[in-house]
């Protein structure tokens, strides 16, 4: 009898030390009551003891680390540790891997399961799959970011690149032409006597001229091969990647004629119309040698010389 009693005591002791296996129905009720989409219990060793709904039973007796992304492991571990203290619950929001290998974004509440804490601090993790909401949010942020970037690099009046957008485009075109060994040309376009036009007819009329000149720059060869921008005031710049000096000059002369044909009356020039003067420069960028502003300086210098010679013409840096 003594041996039988001792054996019964040993069985009782072993049973007491065995980790509890909570019934899934507790978790099912938790989901129904609080509107969670899933719930599980996790023992002190990180092993998933039970899960609800039951279709997720394949994860039972597996460690939660199997489903954590390496970058998220530390955050999840910290959240579980806070939950085990029993002082307060905590939350985790981030990506996890599912049993089938797909990634889902979840919002999870974690707290101590007080009814099972005698055998070790078992925690409950219950949450919702918010992947679609998260992706829609990310898409909205990306769309807004693109819109802000576009606004930050676009001249609102003409729709051309602004000075900031031009700088970014020039970095790209410089690298691209350097990689291919081709030429990079630049036109600097200035509206002749624009201050006189504004003084005579006002800034609203001046704005309409700027829009008309921008449209002229965008059309023709510049539309197909150029990167046009409003540099500031009445000055425009056109990048011509892959275009040599002779072809760049031809594009500039065509632009001067196109603006002349617009026949926009200029009250400050008796019997005259709005015209432009264009400076042209060409370089052959080298890989590893960044643009230091020499191309713009050369084209601007050619523009200055052309203006001194009478405007409404093209000047080429040599």
Active site residues: 234
| CB-based contact 124:111 (threshold 8 Å) | yes
**Token pair for 69:** 């992304």
List the beta bridge partners of residue 106: 94, 129
| CB-based contact 272:287 (threshold 8 Å) | no
Half-sphere exposure of 257 (CA within 13 A, CB side): 7
71-86 b/e (C-beta count within 10 Å ≥ 16 → b): eeeeebeebbebbbee
Edge-to-edge strand order for the sheet containing 235-241?
A: 227-232, 235-241, 184-191, 276-283, 314-316
29-39 b/e (C-beta count within 10 Å ≥ 16 → b): eeeeeeebebb
CA distances 197 to 77, 208, 306, Å, are 70, 11, 20
Query: How many whole angstroms separate alpha carbon 132 and alpha carbon 140?
Result: 12
């Amino acid at each position: 009898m003594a041996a039988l009693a001792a054996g019964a005591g040993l069985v009782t002791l072993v049973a007491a030390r065995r980790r509890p296996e909570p019934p899934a129905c507790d978790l099912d009720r938790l989901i129904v009551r609080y509107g969670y989409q899933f719930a599980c219990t996790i023992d002190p060793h990180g092993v998933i003891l039970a899960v609800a709904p039951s279709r997720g039973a394949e994860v039972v007796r597996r460690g939660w680390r199997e489903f954590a992304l390496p970058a998220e492991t530390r955050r999840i571990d910290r959240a579980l540790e806070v939950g085990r203290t029993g002082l307060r619950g905590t939350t985790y929001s981030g990506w996890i891997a599912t049993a089938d290998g797909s990634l889902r974004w979840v919002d999870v509440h974690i707290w101590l399961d007080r009814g099972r804490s005698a055998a070790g601090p078992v925690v409950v993790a219950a949450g919702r799959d918010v992947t679609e909401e998260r992706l829609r949010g990310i898409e909205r942020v990306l769309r807004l970011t693109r819109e802000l970037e576009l606004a930050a690099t676009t001249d609102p009046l003409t729709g051309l690149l602004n000075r900031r957008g031009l700088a970014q485009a020039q970095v790209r075109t410089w690298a691209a032409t350097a990689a291919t060994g081709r030429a990079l040309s630049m036109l600097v376009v200035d509206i002749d006597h624009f201050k006189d036009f504004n003084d005579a007819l006002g800034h609203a009329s001046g704005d309409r001229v700027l829009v008309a000149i921008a449209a002229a720059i965008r059309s023709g060869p510049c539309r197909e091969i150029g990167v046009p921008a409003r540099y500031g005031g009445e000055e425009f710049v056109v990048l011509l990647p892959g275009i040599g000096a002779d072809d760049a000059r031809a594009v500039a002369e065509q632009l001067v004629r196109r603006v002349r044909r617009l026949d926009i009356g200029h009250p400050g020039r008796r019997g005259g119309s709005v015209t432009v003067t264009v400076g042209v420069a060409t370089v052959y960028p080298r890989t590893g040698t960044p643009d230091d502003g020499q191309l713009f300086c050369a084209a601007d210098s050619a523009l200055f010389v052309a203006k001194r010679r009478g405007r409404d013409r093209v000047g080429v840096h040599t």
